[in-house]
A and B are shown apart, each in its own frame.
Chain A
């Protein structure tokens, strides 16, 4: 407090007062030195101009960097999409080759069926069929326009919905065009939910293929439905369960690099 009082009382540089007294006592005339003043104020002018020129420059650098980043993100997403298309094409090709090879063998049809089933269970290849759609939305924004953590759809909510659907007999599940495979993870980084390491944005649409009547009913009665009702009661999270006669789920990616099958003879 003392310091602040001192500061306000002596806001003018004491040097001026000292200089005035010295002049008075020595009887010197009030002469000024124009060169010194010119240099001093010149420096002030240079400083201000430099800063004034610097600020817009900095701003343009920042925005240019951001634009470049956005461009790079767009490019990379595009190339990712292209690579995924390649993978899907190659998988289809492998499938047709395998089918052709198995056709000639004894029990070939059975093997083909078993292989297709396994692939579908792994989340490989686009699949379609009847099922249910569970749509999740954040709670309505209140008067302050802010969302509390309990009012947001969290990774946990999506994970509980997916678990509930599996346990209710779902055969294939996707979240906003990200297929859930045995290798999928649903997690949250800051305010973004990542599925298969890819960000998904609300509203979250969880599609599940299975017996549409039984699946929806069992899900609503099971752990998933209980979880959603609780989330709705506590945070106002909105959800909607609808059945559909025809759903199409995208292909997932579950390629293995390290795990190798051990021969059991």
Chain B
């Protein structure tokens, strides 16, 4: 319940504030979204496992986004930004996939 309210509040805030991402940060936005999705699916799975902790969720969300952006930034500086982006996407993608698969198993017992 609180989670849904938080999400709705965030969406409303995003719509009202109409934040436009500065050009410098734009390459990191897709990575940030994937990292957020990873934290989100992890959180949902933890809820279903009855191990959810809001502290862990919030910390993992923020640190995931920051670390993912940092890795890509580092890659850009080293000239391997595209490759490191791919690496981050692959790792987070696998995690999202397995987490969603676990949620599916818990939900449908299949």
Contact = CB atoms under 8 A, between A and B. Distances in A.
Given A12-B102, A13-B60, A54-B20, 15 more contacts: A7-B95, A11-B94, A11-B99, A19-B53, A33-B54, A37-B57, A40-B57, A40-B62, A44-B7, A45-B6, A45-B7, A45-B12, A46-B17, A50-B14, A51-B29
A19 B42 CA distance: 14
A39 B59 CA distance: 11
Q: Is chain A's binding surface mostly helix, strand, loop or mixed?
A: helix
Contacts of B42: 11-13, 16
Contacts of B17: 46
Interface residues of B, number: 50
Contact of A47 (B15, B33, B51, B53): B33
A42 B13 contact: yes
Interface of B: 2-3, 5-15, 17-21, 26, 29-30, 32-33, 36, 39-40, 42, 45-46, 49, 51-62, 65, 91, 94-95, 97-99, 102
A19 B55 contact: yes
Contacts of B40: 44
A38 B1 CA distance: 10
A3 to B, nearest CB: 9
Nearest to B47: A16
A36 B49 contact: no
Interface string A205-237: 000000000000000000000000000000000
